[in-house]
Amino acid sequence: MLILPAIDLVDGTCVRLHQGNFDEATSYALDPLEVAKSFADDGAEWIHIVDLDGAKSGSPRNLRAIAEICLHCPAKIELGGGIRSLEIAQNALDQGVSRVILGSRLAGNLDVCHEIFAALGERVVAGLDMRNGKVAVSGWTEATTIDGLELALKLQDMGARRFILTDIATDGTLAGPNLDMLNKFVRELDRPVIASGGISSLEDLMTVSKIQPPIEGTIVGKALYERRFTVAQAISSVR
């Protein structure tokens, strides 16, 4: 199972949110490039970056910092936050990003989703952010009545190659992953799944790694910044 360390950006600096709440952001006053390079030095093959300013505004706002990371960090970068059109997605890829995450647009315009899936294939990921099984949009600030699994199955039929599943209730809480949600999705979907939200310990990672069918990867954020474990320890624990 892959370990994808996370970098969330606000105004070019690293932060972590609690359950997606922008009013409960912890700023770590760290240089994103140095953080990314340290993750790569520890063995990370992929780094998960979210442009939180872009998620709220509707288009990426931290592309300069992201382009610097792509240029100077050997790990592959996946980027979410404000990816709402094929043009925006392609621009991010042109900056050196390896794949983009299509989030809010999934719930709002399936025609655009189909266009992006068809054009980018493996270079786009369907990111489903859910609270109580329902999809949330606009940087998690707006709830919908859309069932996450129903939408995922529809997107799979439309050409989605990979899914990132985030349980907002556990994200940034260090409360442990939503295992019921993950088990439900991997049994129903025929595409790779990446888990996100709640990882607090190496034991959490090992539990997720034992899910069947297998989870492709797990995104880890706050636990790294709070020094619960290192990227190297995380990778070693799930080998």
Active site (catalytic) residues: 8, 129
Q: Which of 103, 27, 29 is nearest to 60 (CA)?
A: 103
**Separation between Cα atoms, residue 29 and residue 16, nearest integer Å:** 11
Residue spans of beta strands (DSSP E) within the chain: 2-10, 13-18, 21-27, 46-51, 76-80, 99-102, 124-131, 134-137, 142-147, 163-167, 193-196, 217-220
Measured CA to CA, the distance from residue 122 to residue 138 in angstroms comes to 24
Q: How far is CA 226 from CA 42, 112, 149, in A?
A: 16, 38, 32
